[in-house]
Chains A and B, each alone.
Chain A
Amino acid sequence: RKEVEQDPGPFNVPEGATVAFNCTYSNSASQSFFWYRQDCRKEPKLLMSVYSSGNEDGRFTAQLNRASQYISLLIRDSKLSDSATYLCAVNSYNNNDMRFGAGTRLTVKP
């Protein structure tokens, strides 16, 4: 079993739709959680960190559920420019390394 798992998608949604991604992790000692965005043939870029209390940045909301060991990303009012692959990342101070999910591909269509 992979340490960090994501639904690979693809998710194909119309503009304006709300879409949610989940990411599960297996290491209960994980301490830090992130969502990255990766455009085709580009490097991953930080979208947002995920805090225990949940956090929101404009149309994006990230949540953490430690009991069930998953993080989620909600995108409201999807834009064409949201089309990308979304990677979740989990870090453990015990392991001192970041583990990434394989990514969920999102395509927003007109």
Chain B
Amino acid sequence: DAEITQSPRHKITETGRQVTLACHQTWNHNNMFWYRQDLGHGLRLIHYSYGVQDTNKGEVSDGYSVSRSNTEDLPLTLESAASSQTSVYFCASSDLAGGDTQYFGPGTRLTVL
């Protein structure tokens, strides 16, 4: 069955370190998204991509970057981790731009000390 996976599922890091969270989907979806979820804020979009070599900033992109070198993967990089980036990160994918159902990965719980 097609799926979307994230790794690691849990990560503890220190302030200032670079961290990369992986997202891999086997649905062959063109669109991929990264969200963070914090209490009281719900899901907020960090970056998204509509295809290979395409990346776009979302609502809360500062301090994060993504790259899309193939259809299946959209890794999220925290250039210099900050305590404010402690959160649960969800990757999602969909197959139509602007409106189609998004399917979420299981999430990565990141703690920045």
Contacts and interface: CB of A to CB of B under 8 A. Distances in A.
A80 interface: no
A102 B101 CA distance: 18
A43 B59 contact: no
B33 A98 contact: yes
Nearest to B41: A102
Interface in B35-87: 35, 40-45, 48, 50, 56, 58-59
A99 B41 CA distance: 11
Nearest to B44: A100
A44 interface: yes
A36 to B, nearest CB: 8
A46 to B, nearest CB: 5
Contacts of B100: 32
A42 B48 CA distance: 21
B105 A43 contact: yes
Given A97-B48, A103-B42, A49 B90 contact: no
Contacts of A32: 98-100
Interface stretch (A12-20, A69-77, A87-95): A87-95
Contact of A42 (B41, B43, B101, B106): B106
A32 B14 CA distance: 39
A91 B99 contact: yes
A55 B35 CA distance: 28
A59 interface: no
Nearest to A91: B99
B42 A93 contact: no
Contacts of A44: 43, 90, 104
Given A42-B107, A102-B41, 12 more contacts: A43-B90, A43-B105, A44-B90, A46-B101, A46-B102, A92-B98, A93-B98, A96-B48, A96-B50, A98-B102, A99-B59, A100-B35
